[in-house]
């Protein structure tokens, strides 16, 4: 179990894990609200904006955006990230000469910052069942699932010597891949013991399309195809019926409350997931905010709003476990020597209890990220502030992509 302890004038907790991230989206922070103001705000209009931004990415800009995003995560106590990486090819869909150059850029960004990364290589085949591919989606797509798996083989080989780099597969969602691709992903991950992630039941339209294509809801389809396992992570798991939570069973659900809030996705029934034994982890997803402690407390606090009571589906200890050990397990990472050191004299922590579950509650529900003084990955201190070069490269990438 994850523990919080006092050490002199500090409070030390295990390194936090963000199990779901799209790092380049950090460049869009604060820039997606005009549509909502104009009365055209929805998940899908947000996605249109994000696609136009993604259309301009190149190896340099994705590196610059990701590095700043990971630096900010480290600043806020994150020592490992699961990066759900779906921009693979050139804008017209032609692979780069080096097919994995964009994935490698994102991995290098995390390692330059000093945090661990699990690159969850996305599988993307189509715009949806019976839906033509949108031009901006071309660079996400592989013609054959075997090409995508060969890319993962190549990446695993390139980073075989780096303990802080791991891999997994991520069929984007049941709307973006046919069933054969789900099976191929399952077999590859079973063979190599890798994590398998997918966006699941984030939007109601996804449920409707899955029912129309398969006559099943997404979790029912995943269960019938043997996708669910202790290595499977259902990202979002927002719109589930009780039997679907039970079907998830010993899989993970990765909640991304600050993004789900931003997008108006809805609220998952956290108590239902916990009752079904589903293991929880969290992710910053779109980087609308990058505050790992806020991500954790939002799981419980949003549940109280949804359930209209001080329900306590998860106390500070359970939330910290979700943000540390369970997050690491969900992305197949180690966490030895990963620690976050807070200033016990920070205003947000004054008056916190001495020890035990009450101290953990005080940190998880009350600590400001500002209190973080040091972050260690595998015992090594990580620099918490971006360099001038990192800021300038980030600004240049945002300027280029929003021209
Ligand atoms: Zn996502």
Task: Give catalytic residues, as residue numbers.
Answer: 236, 285
**pLDDT for 40 beyond 90:** no
When the pLDDT of each residue in the chain is averaged and rounded to a whole number, the result is: 95
**Can you tell me the distance from the alpha carbon of 114 to that of 164, in angstroms, rounded to the nearest whole number?**
9
Q: Give me the residue label for tokens 């001495």.
A: 354
Domain ranges of the chain: 5-401
**pLDDT for 364 beyond 90:** yes
pLDDT of residue 310: 78
* CA nearest neighbour of 222 among 257, 260, 171, 273: 171
Q: How far is CA 332 from the centre of its chain?
A: 13
Q: Give backbone dihedrals phi and psi of 82, rounded to 5 degrees, phi first.
A: -100, 110
CA–centroid distance, 66 to ligand 1, in Å, is 15
Percent of the chain with pLDDT strictly greater than 90: 88
pLDDT of residue 263: 86
**pLDDT for 37 beyond 80:** no
Average pLDDT in the 95-121 region?
A: 98
The two tokens of residue 180 are 């054969």
Kindly state which CATH superfamily the domain 5-401 is placed in. Metal-dependent hydrolases (3.20.20.140)
Average pLDDT in the 280-295 region?
A: 96
**Can you tell me the distance from the alpha carbon of 297 to that of 280, in angstroms, rounded to the nearest whole number?**
13
Of the pLDDT bands very low, low, confident and very high (cuts 50, 70, 90), residue 31 is confident
* CA nearest neighbour of 93 among 140, 150, 38, 37: 140
List 166's β-bridge partners, or say none.
118
CA–centroid distance, 84 to ligand 1, in Å, is 7
CA–centroid distance, 52 to ligand 1, in Å, is 17
Average pLDDT in the 281-308 region?
A: 95
Instruction: Give the ranges where 201-291 is alpha helix by DSSP (H).
Output: 204-214, 218-224, 242-248, 257-263, 270-275
Phi-psi region of 84 (alpha: psi -120 to 50; beta: other; left: phi over 0): beta
Q: pLDDT, tens digit, for every residue of 180-193? A: 999 999 999 999 99
pLDDT of residue 309: 87
**Can you tell me the distance from the alpha carbon of 325 to that of 310, in angstroms, rounded to the nearest whole number?**
26
Cβ-based neighbours of 150, under 8 Å, separated by 6 or more = none
**Can you tell me the distance from the alpha carbon of 130 to that of 157, in angstroms, rounded to the nearest whole number?**
36
Q: How far apart are the first and last CA of the chain?
A: 48
CA–centroid distance, 379 to ligand 1, in Å, is 30
Q: pLDDT, tens digit, for every residue of 120-130? A: 999 999 999 88
- Cα distances (Å, whole numbers) of residue 10 to 51, 384, 390: 43, 17, 29
Cβ-based neighbours of 395, under 8 Å, separated by 6 or more = none
CA–centroid distance, 96 to ligand 1, in Å, is 24
CA–centroid distance, 4 to ligand 1, in Å, is 29
């Amino acid at each position: 179990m994850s523990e919080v302890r006092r050490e002199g004038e500090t409070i030390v907790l295990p390194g936090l894990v963000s199990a779901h991230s799209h790092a380049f989206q950090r460049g869009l922070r604060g820039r997606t609200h005009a549509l909502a103001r104009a009365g055209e705000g929805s998940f899908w209009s947000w996605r249109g904006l994000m696609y136009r931004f993604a259309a301009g990415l190149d190896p340099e800009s994705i590196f610059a955006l990701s590095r700043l995003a990971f630096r900010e995560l480290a600043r806020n106590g994150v020592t490992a990230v699961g990066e759900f990486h779906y921009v693979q090819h050139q804008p017209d869909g032609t692979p780069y000469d080096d097919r994995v150059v964009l994935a490698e850029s994102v991995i290098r960004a995390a390692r330059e910052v000093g945090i661990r990364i699990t690159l969850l290589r996305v599988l993307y085949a189509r715009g949806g069942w019976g839906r033509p591919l949108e031009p901006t989606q071309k660079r996400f797509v592989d013609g054959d699932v075997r090409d995508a798996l060969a890319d993962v083989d190549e990446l695993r080989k390139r980073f075989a010597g780096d303990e802080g780099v791991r891999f997994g597969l991520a069929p984007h969602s049941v709307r973006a891949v046919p069933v054969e691709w789900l099976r191929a992903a399952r077999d590859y991950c079973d063979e190599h013991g890798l994590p398998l992630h997918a966006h699941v039941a984030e939007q109601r339209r996804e449920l409707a399309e899955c029912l129309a294509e398969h006559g099943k809801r997404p979790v029912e389809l995943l269960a019938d195809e043997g996708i669910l396992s202790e290595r499977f992570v259902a990202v979002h798991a927002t719109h589930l019926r009780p039997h679907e939570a039970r079907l998830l069973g010993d899989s993970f659900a990765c909640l991304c409350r600050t993004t789900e809030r931003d997008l108006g996705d809805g609220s998952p029934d956290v108590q239902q997931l916990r009752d079904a034994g589903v293991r929880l982890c969290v992710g910053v997803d779109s980087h609308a905010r990058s505050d790992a402690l806020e991500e954790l407390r939002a799981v419980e606090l949003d549940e109280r709003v949804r359930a209209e009571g001080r329900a306590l589906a998860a106390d500070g200890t359970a939330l910290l476990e979700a943000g540390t050990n369970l997050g690491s397990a969900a992305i197949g990472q180690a966490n030895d020597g990963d620690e976050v050191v807070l200033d016990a004299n920070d205003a947000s922590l004054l008056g916190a209890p001495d020890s035990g579950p009450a101290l953990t509650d005080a940190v998880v529900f009350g600590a400001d990220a500002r209190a973080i003084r040091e972050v260690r990955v595998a015992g090594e201190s990580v620099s918490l502030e971006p360099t001038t070069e990192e800021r300038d490269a980030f600004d240049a990438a945002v300027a280029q992509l929003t021209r």
